[in-house]
Amino acid sequence: MDETVETVRESALLCLRQLLDSQFDEASMDAAQCTELGHLQPSLPTAVVSDQEKRREFRKDEPGLKDAEVIKLDVIKGLLRTDVLQRFE
């Protein structure tokens, strides 16, 4: 992502887009989640978000974790930690 070559930066952006918002996955979930109660949007929280104990443990251990380890646990938090938006300016 720190490359100056435009094609490399464009490929990195496309990969991030697919990671964060896959149109195919969204369309598939939308089609599969209709019930008699109406449309249900599935929620897929990470273990760090859904479990209070893991959340406390993560917050305590986060400063000592490498960026790649944080991204494996929580993609959004990892991207914020690596200042991904500023790197694309």
What is the rounded CA–CA span in Å between residue 23 and residue 1? Answer: 23
What is the rounded CA–CA span in Å between residue 26 and residue 32? Answer: 10
Domain segments of the chain: what residues? 1-44, 45-89
What is the rounded CA–CA span in Å between residue 32 and residue 40? Answer: 9
CB 41 within 8 A of CB 27: no
pLDDT for res 70: 85
Q: What band does 60 get if pLDDT is binned at 50, 70 and 90?
A: confident
Query: pTM of the prediction?
Result: 0.55
Which is higher by pLDDT, 2 or 27? 27
> In this predicted model, what pLDDT tens digit does every residue of 31-56 receive, in sequence order?
776 667 766 666 666 666 677 888 88
